[in-house]
Each structure stands twice: as C-alpha cells, then as structure tokens.
Amino acid sequence: MNSSAKLSFLIIDTGNSRSFDEADPFRDLASSGGSDVAIILGSDMTSGLIQIAQASFVTVLVELQTECLSAHIPDNFGREGGNVIGFSRYRLGNSTLTKLVELVVQPETDDAAKAAAVAIFESAGLVPVTCRDMPGRIVDRLIRPYFNQALTALDEGLADADQLDRALTLGLGYRRGPIDLMRESGLEAHFHVTDAIYRAIGDVAYLPARRAQSAIDRRRRGEHP
Amino acid sequence: MTVSPDPMPAPPTVAVIGCGTMGIGIAIVAARGGCPTIIYDADRARVSKALAEIEMFLAGSVKRGKLDPQTATDTLARFILASAISDLASADLVIEAIFEDIAAKADLYGALNRVCPSGTVFASNTSTLSITRLAAASGRPENFVGLHFCLPAQLMKLVEVTPGLRTSAETLTRSRTFCEAVGQIPIETKDRPGFILNHFAIPLNNRAIRLVEQGVATARDIDLAMKTAMGFPMGPLELVDLVGLDTQERLCDTFFSITNDPALACPPLVRQMVAAGWLGKKSGRGFYEYSSSATFGAEG
C-alpha cells in the first residue's frame, strides 16, 4: 500500500467492519477532517447516518454486508442514484481478505462519485469493480451456486471431496477446489450468504445446500457446526 | 462380436478425429507424448490447416523455452494426415473430437467400426453426451470409453476418464495408461451429463453471461472480480470466448435437452452473439476484441 499518497477521505466507523479491520493500513490513509469523501464502515449502518453524511460530503461510500444498497436508500422505481455508493471488500466467510472491492452503483449514481470511489481504492492497492445494486453482487452471485453444486455432488456421489477439488483445480486451473474453500470459510457462512440471495431473488440455485442447512441446525442446538 | 483389445503397443498409434480447437490440442498431446498421430476431419482443408497451427504452436513452445527444438521436430514428424476414414485402420486408439451431436457421432462410429480392427479402442472427447449411449452406437461397447480433455488440451493436464455401463475393465485400464504415458492426469468420473468439469463450468459461465445480459456488470469487471477474489486463471467470459460462443450454445442446447435444468439453458445473449458472428477469440470478437485467432499458446 502506498502510504505516501494521503487520500482525502474521512472514515466514519460504526464497528465490526468486514472490509477493513482496526489494524488495516487502509485506515491510515484517511484524513481527520476537511474531506469531500466519507467512508462509512461497519455493520451498524443506519439510514439516518447515511442521510447526514449525504448532506455533508460530495461522495459517500457505504460498506455493505449481504444486503443491497437499496436497503439504506429510499426506492425511486429505477431512478435511484446520487452521491452514495455501496462497497464490499470480498472475503469468503472469515477467510483472508482479498484485494477485490465490489462497488455498488444505482441507475443515476453520479459519475464523479464513481470516479472518486475507484480512485480511492485503486490508490490503496485494491482492485475495484463496479456492479449494479443486485443481491450477491458479482462474486457471490457466481460462486455460491457453484459451492451449492459441489455440496450436492458429494451427496449424489458424483465424486468424493478430493476428486472434486482435484478435477476442478486441474481441469479449470482454479487455485483451490470448492470443498477446500468451504472447509476454510465454513458452511455456516455459506448458508448466510446463499440464504440472503435466495430470499431476495427466489432462484433455487441459491437455496442453501443440505450440508449448509445442517450446519445451521447444529449451531442452533448449540453443537459444533 | 466385440473383441477385447489387444495389449496396446507402446507407443500406440492414435487417431484424432475433428480438427477443431480440441482436436488439435489432443493431437499435440498424443504426438508430443511419443505416439504416431493420425489426424482426420471430414473437411479435408481443416486437416492441413490444423497441421499449420500445430507447427505454429510447437514453434511458439520452442521460442518460449518450453520445448527443445529436436523434440518439436520429432513431434511434428509423428503426424500422419488422413484424407479418408479408411486411413484410420491402423490406429490402436481413436479419439473422436467432433461437435456435440449424438447422431453425427453415431454415424462416425458406425463408419469406424467397419474400418478399424475389433480390438481398437474408441474414445469420445464429448463433454456432455452419455458415454453409454455413444458406446451403444459404436458396435463395440466394451472397447469404448470417454476421454474428455480440458481446453486448451495441449496445456491442461486433466483428462476425465469415463466408463460406460458396458466398458470393460481392460479398456478402462488401457485408457488410463495411455493418458499417463502422454503426460496427462486421468481422473475417473461417472457417466453423467457434464461429468465433473462441465457439470460445474457451464452453469457458472451461463450465470456470468446472464450478469452481462442483465447489465449487472461488464464482462471486464466480472472477469476481473473472479480472478481477483477467487484466483481463477481466466474469467468465465474470457473462457467462453476461448471455447467459442457457438460451442457454448451447442453445449447448452445439448446439456439442457438432457437435464431440463434452467441453469443450463442457453442465454439469449449467446444466440445473439452467434448470429452476429461474434464467436469469441476465433472470430476476433466475443465478449472482448482480439487481434489474433491463433491456437492457444501459439502466439509470440
């Protein structure tokens, strides 16, 4: 990360950020005041806080969990937009953070706000991509059905876990197989993400696979997931 | 009557049918692995064009230091260009890599069955069709096996080895032995639509295409996201461009007709791109624009 480039943004931290934890060097790039850009981090986001920031800053970046940006912005029947942009730095469950930042824009989001968001994250050595405000954004929208399929393939005896991972890493050049990734990131995390997408769009490809549902059942009974 | 295959000579004579992207890749693997390799295509012009592409690939490999010049020369010398099905009579192993049409493949196996000795093993590089059904059409189901190479075959090591219900243990063993002898890694799969790889890859690619179709993100951002977050060597839309939009359309149609799984239905955008002539890398335009349509790995 290039710490010499002091970026003009302010961080408003509501706690428990998944994108930038307390020790993340990205936070060192923030200024303490007098900035045009506010980044609101954390899981205790409120619409009121966003509205205040929206009135005070030229650009507001709002950290998202599994929810859409529209969960925080009033609906305008396809004409939403303005200076608020959602973002999420991608990680599988509690695995290591990646460099990917998914930026969530709405139909009428300001071009200047988009450019500012891209510039801030690129300057920090991260990789921003832009997507519309849809459940699962890009990566979870693509990878979660793939994980569901892998779990179902085990149930159906298509191959065992090692064969599946070996075939997909060798055949498609993937760095790691789906079972290996789920072992690390956890079935519960998979359940929570897929369940949120399934509830939002109703596509059965996102219905959490049996093994993920069982992990949640075990957790609810207080057993090891 | 089906005769058990004789012990395969080392190296076996391999015939590859179909001089498309996959067929060329498989032929390179066989010849580079030391096998006399017959190449055949119903369109004779494609055979000589394939040899030119193979030559270019080998030259590229030498230039990049991946292959020594003598090995490239020896590999090239192992190719035998066939102009008729009857030229395949000396093959110990025939690998079919034509388009995914069960009737076309069945016709081909019928012709091969009349030409090749009864001990010759027939293999299909199909990625979607049932090996048992193809084997039934071959007239020699015990000597029939699925050998699905991955794209680009000349660079990817995995081969999905799939027995049909009547494939003999001996044929399976010989097929695995062949794969290992030419430097590939065989993994046995069940005779199910898509085996392992396409069971996962086609729905994932279709979902990526639908994100473009729905305007959720651009092809560039989708590919960049998957490479950055998941470590994919190429994005799903780059992969579709490499495979070919027309191939993706055919795969979807074949796969969907077997499974009725909506995730495998061909996205309308694919049909539009095919109609527009945007077939991917080979036509110079797909989700991206290309300045070269050379065989994968042959550039530079």
Q: What's the pLDDT at B296?
A: 54
Q: Which of residues 92-131 of A touch B (CB under 8 A)?
A: 98-100, 102, 127, 129-131
Tell me, yes or no, whether A186 and A77 share the same domain.
no
Q: Do A167 and B187 touch (CB under 8 A)?
A: yes
Number of domains in chain A: 2
Interface test with A, best of B221, B243, B296 (most A CBs within 10 A): B221
The answer to whether the beta carbons of residues B292 and B299 sit under 8 Å apart is yes
For chain A, report the end-to-end CA distance as a whole number of angstroms.
36
Interface test with B, best of A142, A148, A155, A181 (most B CBs within 10 A): A142
Is the pLDDT at A176 greater than 60? The verdict is yes
Is the pLDDT at A4 greater than 50? The verdict is no
**Active site positions of B, annotated:** 127, 148, 160, 198
DSSP secondary-structure letter at B265?
Answer: S
Q: Do B158 and A171 touch (CB under 8 A)?
A: yes
Helix (H) or strand (E) holding B203: helix B197-213
Is the pLDDT at A220 greater than 80? The verdict is yes
Tell me, yes or no, whether A126 and A143 share the same domain.
no
User: Does the structural domain B14-188 have CATH classification 3.40.50.720?
Assistant: yes
CATH no. of B198-283: 1.10.1040.10
Tell me, yes or no, whether A123 and A192 share the same domain.
no
* Domain annotation covers residue A160: yes
Q: What's the pLDDT at B4?
A: 53
Q: What CATH number does the domain containing A193 carry?
A: 1.10.1040.50
The partner residue sitting opposite A142, judged by closest CB among B157, B187, B207, is B207
Q: What's the pLDDT at B3?
A: 52
DSSP secondary-structure letter at B62?
Answer: H
B4: Cβ contacts below 8 Å, ≥ 6 apart: B119, B142, B143, B168, B170
DSSP string, chain A: --TTS---EEEEE-S--SSS-TT-GGGGG--SS--SEEEEESS---HHHHHHHHHH-SEEEEE-SSS-GGGTS---TT--EESEEEEEE--STTS---SEEEEEE-TEE-HHHHHHHHHHHHHTT-EEEEEES-TTTTHHHHHHHHHHHHHHHHHHTSS-HHHHHHHHHHHH--SS-HHHHHHHH-HHHHHHHHHHHHHHH--GGGSPPHHHHHHHHHHHTTS--
Burial degree of A118 (CB within 10 A; 0-12, 13-18, 19+): middle
Domain of residue A47 covers 9-132
| Domain termination residue (choose one: A132, A156, A176) | A132
Distance between CA A153 and CA A55 in Å, rounded? 51
pLDDT tens, position by position, A109-162: 999 999 999 999 999 999 999 999 999 999 999 999 999 999 999 999 988 999
Measured between CA atoms, how close is A145 to chain B, in angstroms?
A: 8
Measured between CA atoms, how close is B165 to chain A, in angstroms?
A: 15
What percent of chain A is predicted at pLDDT more than 70?
A: 96
pLDDT band at A1 (very low <50, low <70, confident <90, very high): very low
Tell me, yes or no, whether A112 and A191 share the same domain.
no
Residues A14-36 have a mean pLDDT of 90
Measured between CA atoms, how close is B135 to chain A, in angstroms?
A: 21
* Domain annotation covers residue A2: no
Q: What CATH number does the domain containing A111 carry?
A: 3.40.50.720
Taking CB atoms and an 8 Å cutoff, what residues of chain A touch B185? 170
CA distances from B134 to A124, B104, B107 (A): 55, 11, 10
Tell me, yes or no, whether A102 and A148 share the same domain.
no
Q: What is the mean pLDDT of each run of 10 residues along chain B (300 residues)?
A: 59 96 96 97 95 96 95 97 96 95 94 95 93 96 96 92 97 96 94 92 97 98 98 95 93 90 96 98 95 57
CB of B217 less than 8 A from some CB of A = yes
Tell me, yes or no, whether A108 and A149 share the same domain.
no
CB of B201 less than 8 A from some CB of A = yes
Tell me, yes or no, whether A158 and A120 share the same domain.
no
Average pLDDT, chain A: 92
Tell me, yes or no, whether A128 and A155 share the same domain.
no
* Domain annotation covers residue A225: no
Distance between CA A203 and CA A207 in Å, rounded? 7
DSSP secondary-structure letter at B86?
Answer: G
pLDDT band at A54 (very low <50, low <70, confident <90, very high): confident
Q: Do A142 and B236 touch (CB under 8 A)?
A: yes
Tell me, yes or no, whether A158 and A107 share the same domain.
no
ipTM above 0.90, yes or no: yes
Q: Where are the domains of chain B?
A: 14-188, 198-283
Find the residue in A nearest to B191 (Cα).
A158
Residues A84-112 have a mean pLDDT of 95
CB of A70 less than 8 A from some CB of B = no
B98: nearest Cα among B113, B84, B109, B114: B109
Range with top average pLDDT, A27-36, A40-49, A90-99: A90-99
Residues A169-175 have a mean pLDDT of 92
The partner residue sitting opposite B196, judged by closest CB among A99, A138, A158, is A158
B74: Cβ contacts below 8 Å, ≥ 6 apart: none
